């Protein structure tokens, strides 16, 4: 075999190995959640739960009953129900992803966060996100799921154009209750 051919085959193999590494899915890919992209007022039926985001509001003060706090608040109104079983179906994963950062629904006000869901009888309420003031300029993605650990489970992402929202002075969370419909 000619010397140049040996080198060419060697380099091709090294290049091929690099290519295989590039296209091999990572562990994160292998464990990625199954997304079910939803829109506002559109019901997404995922594994074990169904959710409808009915409204998204932005304000510089959030109010929930006697509780209130200043800041930059995004309040998401939604209806959610379990589809399989009541036991263990909680709205446990509620994050707002913007750029590279993930904001968790605030546990400060009483909200739907970690509320138990019931099959067939939707719950109605809100989630509140406390954000830095400059996040309000872009498009964020709301992620909803019923596992603390979203891996390999269905997850409902919902894009929210924060820039298009008109900030109010005060936004009030809906009282958590049974949905009227």
Q: Which residues bind another protein (CB under 8 A)?
A: 27, 31, 67, 69, 71, 95, 100-104, 106-108, 129-132, 149, 151
Nearer to another protein, 104 or 163 (CB): 104
Q: How far apart are CA 99 and CA 83, in angstroms?
A: 32
Nearer to another protein, 47 or 108 (CB): 108
Minimal distance in Å, beta carbon 111 to another protein? 12
Q: How does DSSP assign 69-136, residue by residue?
A: EEEEEEEEEEEEEESS-STT-B--EEEEEETTEEEEPPSSS--STT-B-BBTB-EEEEEEEEE-GGGG
Rg (the chain; Cα; Å): 22
Nearer to another protein, 56 or 128 (CB): 128
Nearer to another protein, 10 or 132 (CB): 132
The length of the chain, given as a count of residues? 181
Minimal distance in Å, beta carbon 143 to another protein? 12
Minimal distance in Å, beta carbon 55 to another protein? 22
CA atoms within 13 A on the CB side of 84: 10
Minimal distance in Å, beta carbon 42 to another protein? 27
Minimal distance in Å, beta carbon 144 to another protein? 16
Q: For residue 165, is it left (φ>0), alpha (ψ between -120 and 50) or beta?
A: beta
Nearer to another protein, 149 or 170 (CB): 149
């Amino acid at each position: 075999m000619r010397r140049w051919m040996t080198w060419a085959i060697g380099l091709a193999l090294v290049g091929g190995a690099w290519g295989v590494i590039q296209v091999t899915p990572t562990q994160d890919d292998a464990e990625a959640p199954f997304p079910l992209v939803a829109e506002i007022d559109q019901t997404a039926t995922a594994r074990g739960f169904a959710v409808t985001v009915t409204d998204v509001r932005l304000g510089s003060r959030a109010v929930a009953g006697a509780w209130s706090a200043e800041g930059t608040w995004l309040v998401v109104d939604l209806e959610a129900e379990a589809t399989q079983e009541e036991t263990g179906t909680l709205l446990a994963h509620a994050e707002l992803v913007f750029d590279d950062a993930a904001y968790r629904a605030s546990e400060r006000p009483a909200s739907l966060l970690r509320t138990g869901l019931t099959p067939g009888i939707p719950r109605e309420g809100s989630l509140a996100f406390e954000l830095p003031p400059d996040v309000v300029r872009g498009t964020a993605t709301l992620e909803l799921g019923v596992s603390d650990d979203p891996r390999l489970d269905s997850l409902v992402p919902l894009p929210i154009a924060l820039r298009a929202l008109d900030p109010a002075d005060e936004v009030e969370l809906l009282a958590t209750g049974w949905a009227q419909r």
